[in-house]
Structure 1
Amino acid sequence: MIVDNVLTSLEALPVSQTRESYLSFVATGGAAALQRDGGPEHVTASCFAFSPDFDRVLLCFHRKGGFWVQFGGHIESHDTSIASAAIREAREESGITELSLLSGSIADLDRHNLQSGFSCTAHWDVGFVAIAATDAQVAVSDESEDVRWFPCQALPTTVPPGLRERLDKVLDVIPTLVR
């Protein structure tokens, strides 16, 4: 059951207030905490896609949000793990089928409130890291207006609040994911 996978993946993280909040939210909500229609707040899966040298990040311009952001979205009934949901979302939204997870370990946790235009009020986002060749052919999905590579140290100005800090933390955690 994917709820068990999410709980196990979260338990593998170092103890922190954020980790404990996620564990409580998922344990209390059960399967509904992972479903788009399970309530106004639910867990989502995302994926930071990097170049092999980790100098560039692939972002999509999110149509509803109106900003550049990592790939991600809702967990689907056929997803077998939170990591598989993240890579599925990244492949769907980037068009890059050769995109591969660096690790099955969680790299980022970020609960964020959503603005009007979304049917839910908050996402409890669980982020992973993937690698793609910068010359891979990208394709824009229905949820996005564009997909583009950016230098990690020169993100566009239209990113959601906190994305720069999240990206920096993910880059810092990468060496621990490949042990």
Structure 2
Amino acid sequence: MPEAPPTTAPATTYAALHADATTLLAGWTPTSPAAAVARDRTLALLAAGPVAMSREHRPGHVTASVLVLDATGTWVLLCLHGKLHRWVQLGGHCEPGDPTLVGAALREATEESGIAGLRIDPVPIDVDIHPVGCQGGSLHHDVRFAVVAPAGAVEQVSDESAALGWFPPDRLPEPLADGTVQLVAPARAALRRSPLRPAP
């Protein structure tokens, strides 16, 4: 039986977000050779149009995630994913109401951490492509950012997480999701480069 075509809704509901993601990645200087390859593959995916921002797009879709640092940059916040049963950075799918990819990442970080007042650097720290179970099998083209929590922040576990925890960057918990450890160095570099600021 032929596969049903994707709905046409994302063509309008994700149009602005798609334009933002395309501009952001086209102008980004990758932080590693692997990130450069993933960036180019993601730009090729985005050539499909706004549907590439939606989980309905079976070949793959763009997601947004963050590595949350404490105010000193010496601890990182990770969640024990309820379905994957691995420690991962915070993040997830883009939604039609997200104004920008940075905004999607900040929304996900706030929802999953329960922390108000997070600050995000608008320059990506990584792009990673990995298989997931969405729509019976797909690829996440995950654009990743650095976020800093305010001093004294207290996290709250969301419905998507089994646990949240702060860890020293050189002693991350196990089992750890592939690709999470590679975010530590560029996230700390982003913090040193400039004060992280609220997303637009």
Identity fraction in percent: 34
Question: Residue 2 of structure 1 is aligned with which of 17, 23, 45?
Answer: 17
What is residue 8 of structure 2 aligned with on the other side?
Answer: none
1:157 equivalent to 2:174? Answer yes
**How many angstroms does 1:150 deviate by?**
0.6
Partners of 2:141 and 2:91 in 1: CA distance: 12
Q: Which runs of 4+ in 1 moved over 6 A?
A: none
1:125 equivalent to 2:142? Answer yes
TM-score of the pair, normalised by structure 2: 0.80
Question: Residue 60 of structure 2 is aligned with which of 41, 53, 59?
Answer: 41
Alignment root-mean-square deviation, CA? 2.1
What is residue 91 of structure 2 aligned with on the other side?
Answer: 72
1:14 equivalent to 2:51? Answer no
CA contact (8 A) 2:21 2:100 kept: yes
**How many angstroms does 1:137 deviate by?**
2.0
Once the two structures are overlaid, the 10-residue window that deviates more, 75-84 or 128-137, is 128-137
Larger radius of gyration between Structure 1 and Structure 2: 2
Once the two structures are overlaid, the 10-residue window that deviates more, 38-47 or 65-74, is 38-47
Instruction: Give the 5 Å matches for 1:105-144.
Output: 105-114=123-132, 119-133=136-150, 135-144=152-161
Question: Residue 23 of structure 1 is aligned with which of 15, 35, 43?
Answer: 43
1:99 equivalent to 2:114? Answer no
Partners of 1:3 and 1:118 in 2: CA distance: 20
**How many angstroms does 1:40 deviate by?**
4.6
**How many angstroms does 1:108 deviate by?**
1.2
1:149 alignment partner, SS class: strand
Unaligned runs of 5+ in 2: 1-15, 31-35
Unaligned runs of 5+ in 1: none
Partners of 1:178 and 1:10 in 2: CA distance: 21
Equivalenced residue count is 176
**How many angstroms does 1:22 deviate by?**
1.5
